[in-house]
Amino acid sequence: MQQSFIKYCPPPEAIARYADSFWMLSNTSTEPQDLVILPDGNIDIILSTSPFRMILTGLSTAPDKVSFAARNTLLAISFRLPAAEILLHRSIAPLLNSATSLPDNFWEFTEDDTRSFDRFCNKATSILLQKIPAVFDNRKQLLFDSLYTEPLIPTIKELSARCFWSSRQINRYFQEWFGLSLKTYRGIQRFRNTFRPISEGKFFPEEYFYDQPHFIREVRKLSGVSPRELFRNENDRFIQFSALKAK
């Protein structure tokens, strides 16, 4: 039986364009836990407590099977894509399906900040408020606002028209900064949007897919299992951090 607990905190409105959430995952048992981290279209800065270290994760395009160490806690800022350019000032394309270590004093985080989730969230919010610039490229802002605020994910053609940016230029930007195409990213977003309905036993979110086979195929590609097996989620091994607020 898994012995872990999860906490989730939405970001303040002032940083919501760049930060999707703050979360904490703890393994309170004396044994490691086998988990499957599902793609959610976000970038994460993660602080680990045993031992203290910081890592930056890129985007994921497949389920990631991990062994979560005993007596360990992870705290993280989960970012939306604009944060790569605006806050991190680096391309995360080389980190597709991988991660890299950050200096232990990155953004002045310390081991003390991992002792309280509230303290971590408050410090992270303060740091991000200081780092967000007053101006961001208008085309990119229109692009990301459409991607993240529309109930139904716009098509690439619609996105191109809205932000006055050709689809070729958008894809070049996505490949350079994030390591994948906009089409691939939209597929991850569709999967992310199905996680809550699946957790509620709804096995065909019709607004996101052409038909039932398309739905099943896409869920298998990004989770490794069928929608029904994902719904059963034996031993709580499947985790998608963007869906924690549904719990």
What is the band of 128 on the pLDDT scale with cuts at 50, 70, 90?
very high
Looking at residue 167, its pLDDT comes to 93
Highest mean pLDDT: which of 63-67, 125-129, 215-219?
125-129
Sheet holding 43-49, edge to edge: 4-9, 19-27, 72-79, 43-49, 52-57, 99-102
Per-residue pLDDT at 184 exceeds 90: yes
- Contact between 31 and 41 (Cβ < 8 Å): no
Report CA torsion sign: 134, 138, 143, 149.
positive
- Contact between 34 and 237 (Cβ < 8 Å): yes
Q: Token pair for residue 149?
A: 């605020």
Query: How high does pLDDT run on average in the chain?
Result: 89
pLDDT tens digit sequence for 35-82: 889 999 999 999 999 889 999 999 999 999 988 889 999 999 999 999
Pairing relation of β-strands 33-37 and 64-68?
Answer: antiparallel
Looking at residue 1, its pLDDT comes to 43
Mean pLDDT of 21-28: 92
Q: What residues contact residue 212 under an 8 Å CB cut-off, 6+ apart? A: 204
What is the band of 199 on the pLDDT scale with cuts at 50, 70, 90?
confident
Per-residue pLDDT at 243 exceeds 70: no
Pairing relation of β-strands 99-102 and 238-239?
Answer: unpaired
Q: Which DSSP state fits 153?
A: P
> Residue ranges of the domains in the chain?
4-131, 138-246
Looking at residue 171, its pLDDT comes to 95
Could you tell me the fold of the domain covering 4-131? Immunoglobulin-like (2.60.40)
Query: Distance between CA atoms of 106 and 45, rounded to whole angstroms?
Result: 10
| Counts for the chain of helices (H) and strands (E), in that order | 8, 9
Residues of the chain with pLDDT > 70, as a percent, come to: 92
Per-residue pLDDT at 244 exceeds 50: no
What is the band of 201 on the pLDDT scale with cuts at 50, 70, 90?
confident
- Which CATH superfamily includes the segment(s) 138-246? Homeodomain-like (1.10.10.60)
Question: pTM of the prediction?
Answer: 0.89
Mean pLDDT of 120-126: 97
Per-residue pLDDT at 246 exceeds 50: no
Residue-wise DSSP of 40-74: -S-EEEEEEETTEEEEEE---SS-EEEEE-TTEEE
Pairing relation of β-strands 4-9 and 43-49?
Answer: unpaired
Per-residue pLDDT at 122 exceeds 50: yes
Residue-wise DSSP of 159-203: HHHHHT--HHHHHHHHHHHHSS-HHHHHHHHHHHHHHHHHHTT--
Looking at residue 202, its pLDDT comes to 82
Looking at residue 238, its pLDDT comes to 74
Looking at residue 214, its pLDDT comes to 84
What is the band of 195 on the pLDDT scale with cuts at 50, 70, 90?
confident
Cα angle value 207/208/212 (rounded, 5°): 90
Mean pLDDT of 178-187: 95
